């Protein structure tokens, strides 16, 4: 058993450190080197795990760039949650990311390409079709704006626009529209050459924008864009989505990354990526089997093989989430903290309910968070992922309960396994009489003896030379203490300690318990004042839980008192800590100061805008309610009070607040 435990520990350590192994050729300075990964075909679990390892390695080792070499990559069967987790890590990475595209790149690979900080193409490259293509585009175009499918596509466009806004290298408005057309096949885009005031310009419009152009604008030429949008290397460069077109990987290294041609090092898949591939298929099975084995551990005496194997299977299931960037160390620690709390409820403090409830809540939260890269959903994709995770979690608990029930029912009947299960209490013999036979243990009520073993809360009582299995009401009783039988319930004999002072056992450790509790409360204050990124909060939680545990070791009443006291003191301490924080030196340094009051609340940030108050101008675009107007010969961003004003209407400036210019119609609209 000890050998198995050490093997699991060493295997877990090897898994956690697998992402930090470096190839032998990476011996030069990382500040002048970059790493790249080759991605071909569907972005499956091994490929996504390799990308996650590249990002972690670049951040920890100080590489200059991470390059994703996409060669005819993408597929319709990619997992949305795993791709979303990779996109989140790419945008959160402090190391610049570059996508080098060769061949046709679609689906999740295309999404990755346009989200990276820079996109570089090779000859023959194509990027587009992020969302699955519907077979009936005409039906999709006939759907109303309130249709669920159209709303879903619009939500996907808004999510893509949000990611592009967080891009380090910003895209133009036309480029963003083309990217939105890759994810929404219903978006009808046109490249139009328009003439305004004798000046021609080319932009990308949708049909609504094209119809909304004023009478002074003439459409010279218009060309429809494919639905969904697919752009080649020339179109990507022309729309400034791509930085340019190169011939080879070495040319991109020199011209784009400004590095030596030999400074780019390939990161190849190792055993952890292959492991992630089969863990993706086995993760549900690992979770169910792990929980079932832990349930069997409770049913069998002592600490045996089911508990060790169950813990190992659950660790493997969570390790998959860490490989693909879904689970962090926090979720893994929270999961095993929940298991530990449930173990305390079952084996050490049965009946307290608190540890069981806290443990179950930790398990629930950790299992949900370990399957997604976010905490609160902010987009339609994240909402879909959260709902799928909750459904999978419900199905997991149902399978665990069903499997455990079947094992409890049938395994004890197997001759080989019958001996390792805890036997149920034997039913009383039926004599056939009308009245039940008297229970011989009822004569024990009120008798006094000494505890042969420590009662935690179960143990053995020696009475008149006979050893009797007994249990307390919840408190711990040391071996050799005089106890009295206070209740007999079938085979269950309940005892209590015979002592003049029921809290005499607290005197030796009450001071230590209170000291640990005070330290925990002080650590809560330190977490508010100091920036520890949660480290002090974890220590505070450990101290407070330890104080409660030690209090329950003395007596049940003392434990409840400490638990209730901590529950009341912690919010009060946090309230006063947050209230006093702005008055401390550290609080003044880390908190934003309120803006200094200005003379006049309506003063404009731009002095020239204040001069436009009460001036009259003409709208150059429809105000819905925002748009543009020409006032005193300059083009100004304006907004109405809510009404819609068409183009070429006379308006008057009625308010200037900051950089916000509010206008109203100066003449009645026809």
Cis peptide before 412 (omega within 30 of 0): no
Instruction: Name the β-bridge partners of 306.
Output: none
At 2, the pLDDT band (50, 70, 90 cuts) reads very low
The strand ranges marked E within 159-288 are: 189-196, 199-206, 217-224, 230-232, 245-246, 264-266
Same domain? For 514 and 401 the reply is no
| 615 found inside a domain | yes
Query: And the tokens for 174?
Result: 């036309």
Tell which of 416, 450, 477 closes a domain: 416
86 in a domain, yes or no? yes
For residue 503, what pLDDT band results from cuts at 50, 70 and 90?
very low
Its domain, for residue 298, covers 275-416
Same domain, 328 and 197: no
Whether 306 and 341 share a structural domain: yes
Mean pLDDT along residues 26-44 = 75
* Residue for token pair 């990755």: 112
With 0-12 CB in 10 A as exposed, 13-18 as middle and 19+ as buried, what is 248?
A: exposed
Q: Please identify which residue in the block is written with the tokens 């540890």.
A: 355
Token couple for 99:
């996508």
> Cβ distance 370 to 477 under 8 Å?
no
Residues 310, 345: contact at Cβ < 8 Å? no
Q: Which residue would you say has higher pLDDT here, 592 or 348?
A: 348
Question: Which pLDDT value is given to residue 46?
Answer: 86
Q: What is the pLDDT of residue 440?
A: 63
Provide the pLDDT for residue 635.
Answer: 84
Q: Identify whether 393 is part of a domain.
A: yes
Q: Is residue 431 part of a domain?
A: no
Please give the average per-residue pLDDT across 340-369, as a whole number. 78
Whether residues 362 and 472 fall in one domain: no
CATH of residue 177? 3.90.226.10
Regarding whether 537 and 410 lie in a shared domain, the answer is no
Range with top average pLDDT, 251-255, 309-313, 534-538, 547-551: 251-255
Does 320 have pLDDT greater than 80?
no
Residue 95 lies in a domain: yes
Q: How confident is the model at residue 6 (pLDDT cuts 50, 70, 90)?
A: very low
Q: How many CA atoms lie within 13 A of 528 on its CB side?
A: 19
Would you say 78 and 47 are in contact if contact means Cβ atoms under 8 Å apart? no
Domains in the chain, number: 6
For residues 3-14, give the mean pLDDT: 42
CATH number of the domain to which 658 belongs: 2.40.50.140
Q: Classify residue 424: in a domain, yes or no.
A: no
Write the pLDDT tens digit of every residue in 46-95. 888 899 999 999 998 889 999 999 999 987 767 778 888 889 899 999 99
Of 563, 590, 617, the domain-final residue: 590
pLDDT (tens digit per residue) in 653-668: 888 887 788 888 886 5
Whether residue 508 is found in the same domain as residue 576: yes
Say whether both 64 and 114 belong to one domain: yes
Task: Look up residue 467 and give its two tokens.
Answer: 């050893």
Six-digit token pair at 266?
């390939």
Ordered strands of the 126-128 beta sheet:
104-105, 126-128, 230-232
Cα(54)–Cα(35) distance, integer angstroms: 7
Write the DSSP assignment of 265-316 as a string of letters: EE----HHHHHHHHHHHHHHHHHHHHHHHHHHHHHSSSS-HHHHHHHHHHHH
Looking at the structure, do residues 179 and 205 belong to the same domain, yes or no? no
- CA–CA distance, 547 with 562 (Å, rounded to integer): 8
Last residue of a domain, one of 416, 450, 483: 416
Write down the mean pLDDT value for the chain. 77
CB atoms within 10 A of CB 146: 7
- Examine residue 23 and state whether it is found in any structural domain, yes or no: no
Assess if residue 21 is contained within a domain. Answer: no
Q: Is the pLDDT of residue 417 over 60?
A: no
> Do residues 578 and 528 lie in contact, with contact meaning Cβ atoms separated by under 8 Å?
yes
**pLDDT at residue 578 in the model:** 74
193 and 183 both lie in a single domain: no
- For residue range 505-551, what is the model confidence (pLDDT) as tens digits? 444 467 778 888 888 888 877 777 776 666 777 788 888 888 887 77
For residues 118 and 235, membership in a common domain is answered with yes
The span from the CA of 493 to the CA of 482, in Å, is: 15
Q: Are residues 328 and 400 in the same domain?
A: yes
Confidence (pLDDT) at 16: 45
Q: Could you report the per-residue pLDDT of 577-628, keeping only the tens digit for each?
A: 777 766 666 666 655 555 554 444 444 456 777 788 888 888 888 887 888 8
- Same domain? 284 vs 328: yes
Least confident window among 7-21, 198-212, 273-287, 561-575:
7-21
């Amino acid at each position: 058993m000890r050998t198995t435990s050490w093997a699991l520990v060493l295997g877990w350590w090897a898994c956690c450190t697998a992402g930090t192994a470096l190839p032998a050729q990476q011996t030069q300075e990382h500040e002048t080197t970059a790493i790249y990964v080759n991605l071909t075909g569907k972005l499956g679990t091994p490929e996504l795990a390799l990308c996650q390892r590249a990002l972690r390695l670049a951040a920890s080792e100080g590489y200059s760039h991470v390059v994703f070499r996409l060669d005819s990559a993408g597929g319709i069967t990619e997992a949305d949650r795993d791709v979303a987790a990779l996109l989140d890590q790419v945008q959160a990475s402090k190391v610049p990311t570059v996508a080098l595209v060769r061949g046709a790149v679609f689906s999740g690979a295309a999404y990755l390409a346009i989200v990276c900080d820079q996109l570089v193409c090779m000859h023959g490259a194509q990027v587009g079709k992020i969302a699955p293509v519907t077979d009936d585009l005409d039906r999709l175009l006939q759907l109303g704006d309130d249709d669920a499918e159209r709303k879903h596509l619009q939500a996907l466009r808004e999510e893509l626009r949000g990611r592009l806004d967080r891009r380090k290298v910003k895209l133009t408005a036309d480029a963003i529209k083309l990217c939105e057309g890759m994810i929404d096949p219903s978006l009808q885009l046109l490249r139009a050459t328009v003439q305004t005031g004798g000046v021609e310009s080319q932009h990308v419009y949708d049909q609504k924008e094209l119809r909304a152009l004023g009478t002074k604008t003439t459409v010279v030429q218009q060309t429809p864009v494919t639905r969904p949008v697919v752009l080649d290397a020339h179109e990507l460069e022309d729309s400034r989505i791509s930085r340019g077109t190169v011939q080879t990987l070495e040319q991109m290294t020199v011209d784009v990354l400004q590095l030596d041609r030999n400074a780019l090092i390939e990161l190849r898949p190792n055993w952890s990526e292959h492991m992630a591939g089969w863990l993706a298929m086995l993760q549900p099975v690992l979770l169910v089997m792990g929980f079932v084995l832990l349930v069997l551990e409770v049913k069998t005496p002592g600490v045996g093989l089911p508990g060790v194997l169950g813990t190992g299977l659950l660790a493997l299931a969570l390790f998959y989430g860490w490989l693909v960037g879904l689970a962090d160390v926090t979720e893994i620690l929270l999961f095993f903290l929940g298991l530990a709390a449930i173990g305390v409820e079952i084996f050490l403090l049965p009946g307290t309910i608190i540890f069981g409830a806290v443990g179950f809540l930790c398990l629930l939260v950790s299992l949900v968070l370990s399957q997604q890269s976010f905490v609160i959903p902010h987009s339609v994709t994240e909402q879909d992922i959260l709902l799928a995770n909750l459904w999978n979690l419900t199905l997991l608990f149902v399978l665990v309960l069903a499997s455990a029930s079947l094992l409890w029912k049938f395994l004890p009947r197997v001759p080989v396994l019958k001996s390792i299960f805890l036997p149920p209490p034997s039913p009383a013999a039926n004599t056939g009489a009308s009245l039940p036979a008297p229970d011989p243990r009822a004569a024990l009520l009120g008798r006094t003896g000494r505890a042969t073993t420590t009662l935690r809360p179960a143990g053995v009582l020696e009475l008149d030379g006979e050893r009797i299995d007994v249990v307390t009401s919840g408190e711990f009783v040391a071996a050799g203490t005089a106890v009295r039988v206070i209740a007999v319930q079938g085979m269950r004999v309940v005892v209590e300690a015979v002592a003049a002072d029921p809290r005499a056992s607290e005197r030796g450790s009450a001071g230590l318990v209170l000291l640990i509790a005070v330290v925990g409360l002080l650590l809560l204050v330190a977490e508010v004042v100091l920036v520890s990124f949660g480290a002090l909060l974890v220590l505070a939680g450990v101290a407070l839980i330890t104080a409660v545990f030690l209090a329950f070791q003395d007596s049940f009443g003392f434990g409840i008192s400490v638990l209730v006291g901590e529950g009341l003191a912690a919010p009060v301490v946090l309230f006063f800590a947050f209230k006093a924080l702005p008055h401390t030196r550290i609080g003044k340094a880390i908190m934003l100061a309120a803006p200094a009051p200005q003379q006049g609340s309506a003063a404009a940030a731009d002095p020239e805008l204040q001069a436009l108050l009460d001036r009259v101008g003409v709208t150059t675009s429809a105000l819905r309610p925002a748009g543009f107007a020409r006032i005193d010969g300059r083009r100004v961003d304006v907004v109405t009070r809510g009404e819609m004003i068409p183009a070429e209407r006379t308006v008057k400036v009625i308010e200037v607040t900051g950089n916000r210019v509010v206008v109203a119609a100066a003449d009645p609209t026809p």
